[in-house]
Structures are given as structure tokens and as C-alpha cells.
Amino acid sequence: MPFRVCFVCTGNICRSPMAESVFRARVAEAGLDGLVKVDSAGTGGWHEGDGADPRTVSVLEAGGYEGGHAARQFHADWFAELDLVIALDAGHLRALRRLASTEADAEKVRLLRSYDPAVASASGADLDVPDPYYGGLDGFEECLEMVEAASPGLLAAVREQVEGQAA
């Protein structure tokens, strides 16, 4: 059974599809694509069925990532099938932990930037990936940089779990 990771932001059209695309590429580069399933969702369903924001697609494509996506809303019953739920900001973290029906499910929820050693080790660091939706393209580029910076640490943590399951 693959290790399942789901990235979650607000509407699943900006940050979480960006994180999904970047992390899926990192998983493939690491040769783990058959062992790790990567997905994304939003805390709300306003954009369900929509593609990613065109600015997200543009930034992803410029970075050499795939941009295909259809938005969907996260549901509490997904916890049973997920190993890790990655929130893009503290508001998502709180919302997801409120949805969790058990402590074990709540413990599956982590902030993406907590995997970025440069940020996570800084005292009082802001671990949010800011929502770029109401800004310009530069906000999306900044989000991509944050996602890319956290991805190696997340990949190392996931690899450790996958290798632990195989042992």
C-alpha cells in the first residue's frame, strides 16, 4: 500500500496544487513514485472541479512542473486513508485538526514549512505559505520558492516512513 500525502490549502487552486505538483516531481526523482501517492484538496469547496489558478499553472510550467489539476474539498473521512496531511498555513492546520475525529488523525496534520530546515529552526519563524490569490504573479513565485525549499525535508521524512514500512 502506498504512503499517501495530501496537501491542503483554502480552495485547492493555488498553494496546494502547487505543492502537489512539486512534491510529485520530487517523489519521482527519488524513485519513490510507486511507493508514495501525492494529492491535494481545499478546506472549502468553492472551486470544486476547477483547474488550478492560471498564475499557479504559469509558475509551475516556468519551473518545469506539470500544472494539470481539478480542485476538490477535503473530507474528514479521508484521514483513514492518508498517512500525512500537509497544511499550507496555520488556519488550514487548525481547520484540519478540528475535522480529525481522533488524536491519531490530528497528529497526521503538519505545516509544510515545518519541513524547511532554514525556517523551522528559526525561533518564532512564520511557517505559513501566504495566499497569493489576491496579488500578482510575484506572490505565486514566492509560494513556489517556499514549497521547493520545504520539499527536500518533507521527502526525507516520507522516505523514512516508506523505508520503515518496507522493513
The string of pLDDT tens digits covering residues 61-106 is: 999 999 789 999 999 999 999 999 999 999 999 999 999 999 999 9
Residue 107's CB is within 10 A of a number of other CB atoms, namely 12
Distances from the Cα of 105 to the Cα of 3, 49, 81, angstroms = 15, 26, 10
Query: Which pLDDT score, from 0 to 100, does residue 59 have?
Result: 97
Query: Which pLDDT score, from 0 to 100, does residue 112 have?
Result: 98
What nine digits make up the cell of 59? 509558475
The answer to whether residue 128 is catalytic is: no
CA angle (17 as vertex; 156, 15 as ends), nearest 5? 90
Closest CA to 74 of 115, 106, 39: 39
Residue from 6, 14, 15, 83 carrying the catalytic annotation: 15
* Cβ atoms of residues 80 and 111 within 8 Å: no
The answer to whether residue 9 is catalytic is: yes
**Domain architecture of the chain: domains with CATH:** 3-166 (3.40.50.2300)
Residue ranges of the chain whose pLDDT lies below 70: 166-167
Residue from 33, 50, 72, 131 carrying the catalytic annotation: 131
